[in-house]
Structure 1
Amino acid sequence: MYIVFSSILAFCIGLIIFPFLIRWIKQSNLMDLPGGRKIHKAAIPSMGGIGILIAFALIIVLDIAHIPIGKYQYLLVSMAVLFLIGFLDDWKELSALQKLIGQLLAFTLVVVLGEVRLVSFYGLLGIGELPLWLSYGLSIFLFVGLTNAYNLIDGLDGLAGTLGLISCSFLGAWFLATKHMSEGVICLVMAGSLLSFLVYNWYPAKIFMGDTGSLPIGFFVTVFLLIFVQYNGILPDYSFYKFQAPITAGLIMLVICCYDTLRVFVRRLKKGKSPFAPDKSHVHHFLIRMGYRHDQVALFLGGIKCGLIILVLFLKDVQEIFLLPGVVLLVVAMGSMLNALTLRRVREKVKNAPRVLAKSPYTVQKIQKEYNKVGDNPSLEIGK
């Protein structure tokens, strides 16, 4: 009973906190201004992560959820470090190097002292238990990649919160089903906190998550993803809850974020740009250009993630060597289909543009610019 109570209480605390937080951010003028690659049209309060983490921390620190804090002290300290990095970045914008140094400190702490790491490949490529040095290095690399992938997906009302909510809910349910009560409660408390945030972040958003939230929450999901892989590995083969492809099942928790980040990096490199150069080529930007609203995009991508989770559940007895490449190919195929649909939609917009506007060089340049954002920029003919 305390499990449900803890999650609901986190949700209620968040509902109470956010109106005060929004008011304080407006008074402090810590607003996220429109312009550049940002797609919102008005100044919106950022730093919504403050409310999420306050609701979460109150439940955990006050022992309402009956969690042994000592067992998770490194997780909590690392989340605090990432929260501070995100807060400073939202406030005065840190350099990429400053953020990376702070992140490496937090990740090393939880990997080396907290022992949250990838300990085995579980038979993938014939590899079992990893040497300690490789386990440390690979785990820190995963933390850097997955945490920042979640951070990059936070560009749309309700999107990051929805994806985080799905991950925390699934992981919480799995931990409870396998009798890992502490981990299950922690995940569901975070789910309750995220749900309260979504009430105010749903389109049209009254507050954004900001790096203050996306960094510690992306880290949180990665931590419990790796714990899920570890605990799954020690389950007996006859267990109903055991995944024969635990790495694939774990990565599904951040599959949308991973695909989007890799896809954007590849596109930028192909164009001769830095993979870290900001632009509007993320998956959610494409869907917005197709005419969908923020809430529709969040539900669409959340639905895809739920569908992939259900697929992996049905295929839980398939070995890693088969399921991992299969899921990768499926995700790439769906992404390619989305690219093709977006390109066709933009072509239709150009084709249906009023003929009289074709006489305006400014209008031609504007349409050409929009078109170039999407595809490989084939020739554009106006008025034919």
Structure 2
Amino acid sequence: MYFCENLLPMNIFLATVTSFFFGFLMTPVLILILKKIKFTEAPGGRRIHAGSIPSMGGIAIVFATFVGLFAWLSFDQIVETRYFLVGLAIMFSVGLRDDLIELTALQKLVGQSIPAFFVIVMADIRISSLYGFMGVYEIPYLISVAVTFFAILVLTNSFNLIDGADGLAGSLSLVTLSILGFWFYTAGMISYSLISFTLVGGILAFLVFNWHPAKIFMGDTGSLSVGFSLTVLVILFVDKTGLMAPWEGLKLNAPFSAGLAFLIVPVYDTVRIFIKRTMNGRSPLKPDKSHVHHFLIRMGLHHDQVSLVLVVVKLSFISIVFFGYSLSDHILLPTIAIIATVLGIWMDRKTLEKVKINCKNSPSVSGKNADRVKRRQNKRKPSIAKNMFSNNKINMN
């Protein structure tokens, strides 16, 4: 038994390495195939890249992950995590189908509900309690299922929305999965630790080709699969750390705050976008360039700088939770919310200042050029009006 326990870290290491090398070898081949069949993504919508770039990089991530898992998970561990693995495979299929033939919102909802069902009902991975928050502990089963179902769908799709800058989604997921993998290991949840680190290997290999300038994107195939995995593993972490005794592992007294810190960037971005678009009378679901990474790029940062800045921000929030492990959600949740709101307001103001400076210094709208533009506009107006009347003669007969 002692020998087997000491082999566990080596199994995790080998699974991570296997996943990395398989993904590293597969991704260039995938890029060539996608270019050959001209399956690329043009700029527009949320995308801010130049030229057509192959998408569907999630194929390499998921395939590499499954190769690493089935190579190093024991039979008992596969049985233990089977519903999670089935859910991941189904979510991968939904993303792949959406990349190949765009699905309607209803079709996506139905497709994403199936893996959520497997994880919640079959694997029993759910938020089963409020862990003392507002004086509430265990919650009814149906409410638990409904809350977890809603969380999986919203958080999976919120992760999909931040996949708009080179290396961003991969970098953020890498941080979360690495910390979760370590935490699961300390808590004795070896199967989920191995899953977390195997995903790290696949995503790290993908990042080699997705870092700015990106040669391939995740696509919905990757963002939905990785987003689903992150969400489910964070929910599992929240429930276990909320219910465990202090001596059982690295217990945090603020489980919801910890879960929020792990997903702070997509959660903040989604809430911010929803509020702003609703207040402006626009559909919250319509893609545009008003996400957090777009604002940082308007401030003058490059893609790689945006990814690094948001990784540092995320690590800062995670550090607050881990250093304040003895504090409750009553203290940490409002603290995180206030800090995130202040940072968001500061970012909006800095972006607006930068845009104003750029407009002021732009040769096309400053000095003599501005006068020329105005003169040209004034000259065009009469001619347009003249043409309108000349082409619409009134018949007096």
Shared fold (TM-score, shorter chain, > 0.5):
yes
Give the corresponding residue for 2:19.
Answer: 10
SS at match of 1:169: helix
Give the corresponding residue for 1:357.
Answer: 369
SS at match of 2:246: coil
What stretches of structure 2 of length at least 5 have no aligned partner? 1-9, 378-397
SS at match of 1:62: helix
Q: Distance in 1 between matches of 2:375 and 2:127?
A: 53
SS at match of 1:313: helix
Aligned equivalent of 1:303, options 312, 322, 335: 312
Query: Which segment is superposed worse, 223-232 or 259-268?
Result: 223-232
Change (3 A) 1:112 1:64: closer
Give the corresponding residue for 2:128.
Answer: 119
AA aligned opposite 2:154: G
Bigger Rg, which one: 2
1:62-211 matches, within 5 Å, as 62-63=71-72, 68-211=77-220
What stretches of structure 1 of length at least 5 have no aligned partner? 366-384
Root-mean-square deviation (CA, aligned residues, Å) is 1.8
Q: Distance in 2 between matches of 1:225 and 1:340?
A: 32
Aligned equivalent of 1:286, options 291, 295, 305: 295
Question: 1:36 deviation in Å?
Answer: 4.3
Give me the TM-score of the superposition, normalised by structure 2.
Answer: 0.88
Paired residues, number: 365
Change (3 A) 1:360 1:159: farther
Give the corresponding residue for 1:40.
Answer: 49
Question: 1:4 deviation in Å?
Answer: 1.2
Change (3 A) 1:122 1:279: same
Q: Distance in 2 between matches of 1:106 and 1:357?
A: 58
Question: 1:360 deviation in Å?
Answer: 5.2
Identity of aligned pairs, percent?
A: 42
Give the corresponding residue for 2:331.
Answer: 322
Change (3 A) 1:249 1:102: same
Change (3 A) 1:123 1:9: same
Question: 1:126 deviation in Å?
Answer: 1.1
Q: Distance in 1 between matches of 2:143 and 2:16?
A: 37
SS at match of 2:290: coil
SS at match of 1:330: helix
Question: 1:76 deviation in Å?
Answer: 1.4
Question: 1:363 deviation in Å?
Answer: 12
In 1, are the aligned partners of 2:47 and 2:165 still within 8 Å (CA)?
no
